[in-house]
């Protein structure tokens, strides 16, 4: 990470402000500023050419006050301890704001996953799981997929843990393929929660979703799924972007067709999608398109002090983790833009991971309808908790979400005698 922007420090600043708004004493929340455990490991992997390379791996367990640690594992060349610590805190807050009995954790390996063969990825995953074995488990710490990891990686991870354990232990990870204990509805869960939060905030500001103009940054699982769900609610998706740039149509994009096109073949981008009457614009132009709703669902730090002034929208629903910097957030607040924060909006993934874990522990199998109904009930309740807290405190929804989360974690710590 660059020296200028430290995500861990930024997260602590917001946490501190929320604690002060709650009237907490320093002793009530000081533990939240320090992860309970930080593990750094060296992961040796035999490459396909016979040589051995050693990669650095991390697992941070932030807070176990409310339950086992929960959080994804990412494979990326820019992974470092500060990023993992920041994401672990965000997971503690996310689990608390939607009121599921987990604490936050996060893991990662510093590796360019795209440069590894499938066999090398499997060997890396199995060795990493072995190194984490002493501090993970279905009642201790439950990893999940994140950037550049998926259901297949989770299946390898689970198998490595189960081999060491001497018995099949599907509950050690979530986000698994359905035949090995995964949950129905898990892949669409984050996109579904973004749609639900968009629907709820639209009701509050009396915006009719039918015909509402929407721009979505990111066409991957989160962005693409969100776009499809919002389209099914009657929204007009006028702009969509990915790494190759953005596409725009005043009359609304054929969103089902585009997302299906991108998913049919691995490596496809919007640059490969060609139909008549399609305008190509840059990602920067897409962010400043005049719309009713903007969904940043791609990168961290997309909305900054440089990009925020040009944004023309009534509301933003954050699909990505950390898409808005603190300076960008301040500018949006001054402009009167309502922001539904990431720790609430994209929590559908961890909520359905929680449902997957329950099913694994109890050998249950819920239908997709049951999963979606439970997800909707939980997300709508969380939204109302955050809205009411923000209204009462006269503050933004982001600060309201942080206040709800910090209060729940601090209260649990106090009741347990940890504070």
Nearest to 172 by CA among 360, 7, 322, 17: 360
Task: Let me know: does 187 contact 221? Beta carbons within 8 Å.
Answer: yes
Distances (CA, A) of 27 to 162, 259, 363, 409, 413: 40, 49, 41, 13, 11
Q: What tokens does 102 get? A: 């987990």
Q: Which of 352, 322, 364, 355 is nearest to 339 (CA)?
A: 322
Nearest to 60 by CA among 107, 112, 19: 107
3-state secondary structure of 241: strand
Cβ atoms of residues 227 and 214 within 8 Å: yes
| Matching residue, tokens 């050690």 | 172
| Residue in the block written with tokens 């903007």 | 294
CB atoms within 10 A of CB 21: 18
Element (H, E) at 143: strand 141-145
Give me the count of residues in the chain.
419
Distance separating alpha carbons of residues 168 and 162, to the nearest angstrom: 5
Residues with catalytic annotation?
106
Q: What residues contact residue 90 under an 8 Å CB cut-off, 6+ apart? A: 11, 104, 321, 322, 342, 343
Q: Are 386 and 102 in contact (CB under 8 A)?
A: no
Q: Using CA atoms, how far apart are residues 225 and 159, in angstroms rounded to an integer?
A: 29
């Amino acid at each position: 990470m660059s020296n200028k922007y430290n995500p861990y420090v930024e997260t602590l600043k917001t946490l501190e402000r929320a604690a002060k708004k709650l009237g907490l004493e320093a002793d009530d929340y000081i533990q939240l500023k320090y992860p309970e455990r930080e593990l750094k490991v060296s992961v040796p992997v035999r490459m396909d050419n016979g040589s051995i390379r050693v990669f650095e791996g991390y697992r941070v367990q932030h807070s176990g006050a409310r339950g086992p640690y929960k959080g994804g594992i990412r494979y990326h060349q820019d992974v470092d301890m500060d990023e993992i610590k920041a994401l672990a805190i965000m997971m503690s807050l996310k689990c608390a704001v939607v009121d599921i009995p987990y604490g936050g954790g996060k893991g990662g390996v510093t590796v360019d996953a795209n440069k590894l063969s499938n066999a090398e990825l499997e060997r890396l995953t199995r060795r990493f799981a072995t190194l984490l074995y002493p501090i993970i488990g279905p009642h201790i710490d439950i990893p999940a997929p994140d950037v550049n990891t998926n259901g297949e990686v989770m299946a390898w991870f689970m198998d490595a843990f189960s081999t060491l354990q001497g018995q099949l232990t599907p509950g050690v990870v979530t986000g698994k393929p359905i035949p090995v204990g995964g949950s129905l509805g898990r892949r669409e869960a984050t996109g579904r929660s973004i749609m639900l939060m968009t629907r709820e905030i639209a009701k509050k500001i009396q915006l009719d979703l039918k015909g509402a103009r929407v721009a979505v940054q990111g066409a991957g699982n989160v962005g693409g799924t969100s776009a499809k769900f919002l389209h099914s609610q009657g929204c007009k998706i006028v702009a969509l972007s990915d790494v190759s740039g953005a596409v725009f149509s005043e009359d609304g994009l054929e969103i089902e067709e585009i997302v299906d096109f991108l998913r049919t073949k691995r490596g496809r981008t919007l640059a490969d999608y060609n139909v008549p009457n399609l305008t190509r614009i840059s990602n920067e132009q897409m962010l400043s398109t005049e719309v009713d709703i903007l969904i940043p669902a791609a990168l961290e730090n997309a909305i900054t002090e440089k990009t925020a002034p040009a944004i023309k929208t009534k509301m933003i629903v954050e699909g990505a983790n950390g898409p808005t910097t603190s300076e960008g957030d301040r500018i949006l607040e001054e402009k009167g833009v309502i922001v539904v924060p990431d720790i609430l909006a994209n929590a559908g993934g961890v909520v359905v991971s929680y449902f997957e874990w329950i099913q694994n522990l109890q050998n249950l199998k819920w239908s997709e309808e049951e999963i979606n109904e439970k997800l909707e009930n939980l997300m709508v309740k969380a939204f109302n908790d955050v809205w009411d807290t923000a209204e009462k405190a006269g503050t933004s929804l982001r600060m309201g979400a942080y206040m709800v989360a910090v209060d729940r974690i601090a209260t649990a710590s106090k009741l347990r005698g940890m504070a």
